[in-house]
A = this chain, B = another copy of it.
Amino acid sequence: MIRIGIYGYGNLGRGVEHAVRRSQDCELKAVFTRRDPASVKIATQGVPVYKADEAAAHKDEIDVLILCGGSANDLPVQTPEMAKYFNVIDSFDTHAKIPEHFANVDAAAKAAGKVGIISVGWDPGLFSLLRLYTNAVLPDGSDYTFWGKGVSQGHSDAVRRVEGVKDARQYTIPVESALERVRSGENPVLTTREKHTREVFVVAEEGADKAVIEEKIKTMPNYFSDYDTTVHFISEEEMKRDHAGIPHGGFVIRSGEVGDGTNKAVIEFSLKLDSNPEFTSSVLLAFARAAYKLNAEGVTGCKTIFDIAPAYLIDRTGEDTRAHLL
């Protein structure tokens, strides 16, 4: 059994806990939290909850530690620090800072003889994998990534900071006609506005000026000004009833030429997820399995999904996968 630790017990940590329960070859050994452990009730009976700053003391009890914190402040510090003691997995998703994060985790993991796999999830993650595979097989072509329909936490938070807004939920929606143009093999050049629309559901404070709120949202730079945005005002009850989930998904499409250029190929990958964090957690656990196997073979240092042969991700033998999945 691969002994798994969870570091950070929010939506992602709870998702990893469920993913472990769905596996045959992994067991949950401990949860680490920055909150008071006594206040954290987990779903798995008999598994201890420890304070995060005591994690190092448990290094011999855990094969892979899955880091479930945020990319902005948690992971840049936590992943390299924990790589001193554990094989680690994270879902670091600040694309621009991946090279720096990679270097930090690589140095720590190599020094400790551990494996760290960073930026695991679906984007970065499965979407990145598809971008690499499709670029490798279609070198002459164009890449397209569409996100949604799904909840953007960052955009929802930005709306919540608008004066007079009590609660908000923002959905990113791919434009169907743009998707169809890409699927046709036309290789269009698409502007930001042409690819996605944004739909916002707002619970306004009592007496707030809704017209002003709507105007502030629609003109917000970086977040909304480059998009066609629709704003709906709803009640607190409607927000709870209709917008409690965290769905997401999206599309990676590469369209290119083959042969002498007469013929085209269009490759499309898509996800439709009822729960963004629960799916991300499932991906994290598969790569935790890979980290364990790689480290057992003597591999150390930082890796990304590009470096992991698919066979390492699954709890089945080569004979079995060749006979049944190939």
Contact = CB atoms under 8 A, between A and B. Distances in A.
Given A102-B322, A322-B98, A272 B278 contact: no
A135 interface: yes
B133 A129 contact: yes
A268 B309 CA distance: 21
Most chain B CB within a 10 A radius of its CB, from A15, A126, A132, A262: A132
A225 B132 CA distance: 41
Nearest to A316: B135
Given A258-B278, A326-B95, A133 B126 contact: yes
A136 B286 contact: yes
A131 B23 contact: no
Interface string A256-275: 01111011111111111111
Contacts of A245: 263
A286 B135 CA distance: 10
Interface stretch (A29-37, A150-158, A206-214, A300-308): A300-308
Contacts of A315: 139
B313 A133 contact: yes
B259 A15 contact: yes
B99 A286 contact: no
B326 A259 contact: no
Contact of A132 (B15, B262, B283, B311): B311
Given A129-B133, A306-B326, A323-B99, A258 B272 contact: no
A325 interface: yes
Contacts of A270: 267-269
A326 B313 contact: no
A164 interface: no
A321 interface: yes
Contacts of A135: 314, 325
A279 to B, nearest CB: 5
A274 B282 contact: no
Given A269-B268, A325-B132, A326-B306, A259 B286 contact: no
Interface in A280-315: 281-283, 286, 289, 304-311, 313-315
Given A258-B279, A268-B269, A305-B326, 16 more contacts: A15-B258, A99-B323, A126-B133, A126-B267, A137-B313, A258-B275, A264-B274, A265-B271, A265-B272, A265-B275, A266-B273, A267-B270, A306-B311, A306-B325, A307-B309, A307-B311
22 contacts: A18-B259, A98-B326, A99-B323, A102-B322, A126-B137, A132-B314, A135-B325, A137-B313, A185-B272, A245-B263, A258-B274, A258-B275, A258-B278, A263-B273, A263-B275, A265-B271, A265-B275, A265-B278, A267-B271, A268-B269, A306-B326, A308-B310
